[in-house]
């Protein structure tokens, strides 16, 4: 049985905006794509384990972590799509085999909008897709 849990009100997340959140011990970054799709991805870059918002200069908005509807790590420029795959690594850096093979390397969580809330799917009680 799939269970969904309220995370934040829909009105709290505008297109192009990014928010920090917590879910079951995980630090999430929530953002809405330019097309309006809500996304949740780990706040930690799988490359070096850095918490991505900490790499922003002071007073820079969290939304600057979004580039072309993907999450961009400010430490080394890696970008992650809505499937948790690394879609870009700067040319001067080596590309791990998992990235070359198109594997998911960043954890993502399924979201939906229901009754004015952004809800997250509880995957501890359901089979993973």
pLDDT at residue 127, rounded to an integer: 41
Give the residue-averaged pLDDT of 43-68.
96
pLDDT at residue 122, rounded to an integer: 85
Res 96 pLDDT > 80 = yes
* Average pLDDT score, the chain: 93
pTM: 0.89
Q: Encode 77-116: b = buried (16+ Cβ within 10 Å), e = exposed.
A: ebbbbbebbbbebeeeeeeeeebeeeeebbebbbbeeeee
Q: What share of the chain is helix, strand, coil (3-state, %, to 5)?
A: 10, 40, 50
């Amino acid at each position: 049985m799939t269970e969904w849990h309220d995370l934040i009100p829909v009105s709290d997340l505008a297109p192009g905006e990014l928010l920090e959140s917590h879910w079951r011990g995980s630090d999430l970054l929530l953002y809405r794509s330019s097309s309006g799709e809500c996304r949740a991805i780990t706040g930690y870059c799988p490359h070096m384990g850095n918490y991505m918002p900490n790499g922003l200069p002071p007073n820079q908005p969290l939304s600057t972590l979004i580039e072309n509807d993907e999450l961009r790590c400010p430490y080394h420029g890696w970008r992650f799509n809505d499937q948790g795959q690394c879609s870009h690594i700067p040319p001067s850096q080596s590309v791990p085999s998992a990235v070359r093979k198109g594997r998911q390397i960043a954890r993502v969580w399924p979201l939906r909008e229901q009754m004015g809330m952004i809800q997250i799917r509880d995957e501890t009680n359901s089979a993973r897709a």
